[in-house]
Chain A
Amino acid sequence: MKKKASPQGDRSEVLEAKVATSIITASHVEKVFHTKKADVTALKDCSLEVLENEFVCIVGTSGCGKSTLLRMLAGLDTPTGGEIIIKDRPVLGPGPDRGMVFQSYTLFPWMTVEQNIRYGLKEKKLPKEEQDAIVDQYLDTVRLKRFRKAYPKELSGGMKQRVAIARALASKPELLLMDEPFGALDPITKGQMQLFIREIWQKEKPTIAFVTHDIEEAVFLATKIYVMSARPGRVRMEIPVYLPYHRTPDLKETKEFVDLRMQIQELLLTN
């Protein structure tokens, strides 16, 4: 954390003051798409809560509406029913308080790595020195200092997503939304990225809502998992993850891990 206090103060201080603030409160959220032929209910009666500093994963099969749910949290889609509250305020549209990392590579191709990370800071009109400091800090965090002048086309998929994460975190959002960010990566890179994002979370404690269809990924990363069912998409179950705080790849072989993975798999199969 930088010395400069963000509006809500240093995260650890807040944690000391009160036990946990609710960042997302979604209650009975519904999304109906109107097509020419029929109305399609993508989501029905979805309720979930994400507390400050939590790493929440939302798992479900393809087409269960989990991405739609995340987009509504970001304000990129509007629910047709129910309510989404982010930190006491209803969502009225997208904003820099909710950073987002997409599955597709969304770096601005005409900007260097450094300029991409700086983008949100310039939008916030932070003083130049402060921008420099934050950019340096996040280049360091995502270990891409050597590539600060590189253009996105020169980066691998994993590196691109690291820049996208840095760019989202640099704006110090209250919430980081991630929509299958590692879905397009090869298994080895994907594993490295999972370790990497967990490490960042342990260090900085951003509040994260992470959508994935990869059960193993969800169990490995999350402090809490929401399992969704499909057609219409609903939140089926909330599962707290009681696994060791420091997570390493060999955790995936332990009985506790496998049991939890199987339990979720079972839930998804008996949709």
Chain B
Amino acid sequence: MKHPNKRVDATTSALAPQGKLSRNVYVVLAVVSFAAVFAVWALITNLGLVNADFMPTPQATVQSAIELFTEQHFLEDIRVSTYRVLMGFLISAVIAVPVGLLVGAYAPVNALIEPLMSFIRYLPATAFIPLFILWIGIDESEKIAVIIMGSLPQLLLMVAVDTQKVPHDLVEVSYTLGTKRSLVLWKVILPASLPYILDSLRMILGWAWTYVVVAEMVGASSGIGYMMIQSERMMVVGNIFVGLLAIGLLGLVFDCLFKLLDKLLFRWK
């Protein structure tokens, strides 16, 4: 080989599988993908290729957004939806993280809970909406219950898997340093699996947004999902687009917050 460096490049270049990309190029490509989707949207709507009743132009969507925020208190819808998501998410986390740790660490707890949760996990949370309306009514707790139904079993199982990722050697070495069996979960398994758990929480929060929107489409009088289903009934397609964009942006913001938290908490990684 004339240029030995070329050979190295061949396996680490951006185009090789598992290759690397510089930060700047990454950002540029990410922006390009957003711009491309936007361009296609702007083009087909402004050229009249699709019926404006079914797909609004970007300008019309902005107009809808302005109206929603100024005249139809959309901010309140966002607040309500965010509140429901966070409540459902927090309640799920408070239960699923400790129980998931126990399921991951202790075989008898695993036997008691893991198969049951694996079963419940397959029941679509949205299918519980009629039942929850009967049981709980149509107030806040019903929406939150739907989110918990969708998030908790998944999160619990994910946390259990996270704790099992901790190398057994770490547990054993702690024993040889005097750690008691009853405390090893707290002293070794929890800190070691915390980064994985945070990542699971991040994933689950994304799913919680799906459940809240569905829950708000049935028996609700506020929230982003409610606004969207109302807009569908009145054929205000621009509002639906605003709703979609709002959920997407909120998701992105929460995702970034989690990634920031990960950087701050786990410098050791």
- Please tell me if the beta carbons of B177 and A106 are within 8 angstroms of each other in the complex: no
**Residues of A125-184 contacting chain B, CB below 8 A:** 151-153, 164, 167-168, 171, 177
- Please tell me if the beta carbons of B191 and A110 are within 8 angstroms of each other in the complex: yes
- Please tell me if the beta carbons of A123 and B173 are within 8 angstroms of each other in the complex: no
Interface SS of chain B: helix
Cβ-defined partner of A96 (8 Å) among B169, B178, B194, B266: B178
- Please tell me if the beta carbons of B268 and A96 are within 8 angstroms of each other in the complex: no
Distance in angstroms between the alpha carbons of A225 and B198 in the assembled complex = 48
Distance in angstroms between the alpha carbons of A130 and B106 in the assembled complex = 36
Measured CB to CB, the closest approach of chain A to B180, in angstroms, equals 8
**Residues of B160-197 contacting chain A, CB below 8 A:** 167, 169-170, 172-179, 188, 191-192, 194
Distance in angstroms between the alpha carbons of A93 and B167 in the assembled complex = 20
Chain B residues in 8 Å Cβ range of A191: none
Cβ-defined partner of A102 (8 Å) among B173, B191, B267: B173
Measured CB to CB, the closest approach of chain A to B173, in angstroms, equals 4
Distance in angstroms between the alpha carbons of A153 and B195 in the assembled complex = 15
- Please tell me if the beta carbons of B167 and A119 are within 8 angstroms of each other in the complex: no
- Please tell me if the beta carbons of B177 and A119 are within 8 angstroms of each other in the complex: yes
Measured CB to CB, the closest approach of chain B to A163, in angstroms, equals 12
**Residues of A104-134 contacting chain B, CB below 8 A:** 104, 106, 108-111, 119-120, 123-124
Chain B residues in 8 Å Cβ range of A168: 176-177
- Please tell me if the beta carbons of B169 and A109 are within 8 angstroms of each other in the complex: no
Given A106-B173, A124-B178, A153-B188 contact (CB < 8 Å): no
- Please tell me if the beta carbons of A167 and B177 are within 8 angstroms of each other in the complex: yes
Given A108-B191, A110-B191, A171-B178, A76-B172 contact (CB < 8 Å): yes
**Residues of B103-135 contacting chain A, CB below 8 A:** none
Cβ-defined partner of B176 (8 Å) among A98, A111, A124: A98
- Please tell me if the beta carbons of B178 and A120 are within 8 angstroms of each other in the complex: yes
- Please tell me if the beta carbons of B178 and A102 are within 8 angstroms of each other in the complex: no
Interface size for chain A: under 10, 10 to 19, 20 to 34, or 35 or more residues?
Answer: 20 to 34
The closest CB in chain A to the CB of B177 belongs to A120
Measured CB to CB, the closest approach of chain A to B210, in angstroms, equals 33
Distance in angstroms between the alpha carbons of A168 and B173 in the assembled complex = 9
B23 in contact (CB, < 8 A): no
- Please tell me if the beta carbons of B191 and A123 are within 8 angstroms of each other in the complex: no
- Please tell me if the beta carbons of A151 and B267 are within 8 angstroms of each other in the complex: yes
Chain A residues in 8 Å Cβ range of B175: 75-76, 93-95
Chain B residues in 8 Å Cβ range of A171: 177-178
A206 in contact (CB, < 8 A): no
User: Inter-chain contact count A-B, CB under 8 Å?
Assistant: 66
Measured CB to CB, the closest approach of chain A to B171, in angstroms, equals 10
Chain B residues in 8 Å Cβ range of A153: 268-269
Chain A residues in 8 Å Cβ range of B177: 96, 99, 119-120, 123, 167-168, 171
Measured CB to CB, the closest approach of chain B to A3, in angstroms, equals 22
Distance in angstroms between the alpha carbons of A110 and B191 in the assembled complex = 7
- Please tell me if the beta carbons of A109 and B176 are within 8 angstroms of each other in the complex: no
Distance in angstroms between the alpha carbons of A23 and B29 in the assembled complex = 65
- Please tell me if the beta carbons of B178 and A100 are within 8 angstroms of each other in the complex: no
Distance in angstroms between the alpha carbons of A111 and B269 in the assembled complex = 10
A86 in contact (CB, < 8 A): no
The closest CB in chain B to the CB of A150 belongs to B268
Distance in angstroms between the alpha carbons of A152 and B268 in the assembled complex = 8
- Please tell me if the beta carbons of A99 and B192 are within 8 angstroms of each other in the complex: no
Chain A residues in 8 Å Cβ range of B169: 102, 104, 106
- Please tell me if the beta carbons of B188 and A94 are within 8 angstroms of each other in the complex: no
The closest CB in chain A to the CB of B268 belongs to A151
Measured CB to CB, the closest approach of chain B to A184, in angstroms, equals 12
Measured CB to CB, the closest approach of chain B to A186, in angstroms, equals 21
Residues of B within 8 A of A (CB): 167, 169-170, 172-179, 188, 191-192, 194, 266-269
Instruction: Name 17 interchain pairs, CB-CB below 8 A, sorted by A.
Output: A74-B176, A76-B172, A76-B176, A93-B175, A95-B175, A96-B178, A99-B176, A102-B169, A104-B167, A108-B192, A110-B194, A111-B268, A120-B178, A123-B177, A123-B178, A153-B268, A168-B177
With A76-B175, A108-B192 known, 6 other A-B pairs at CB within 8 A are A98-B176, A99-B176, A102-B172, A108-B174, A119-B174, A164-B173
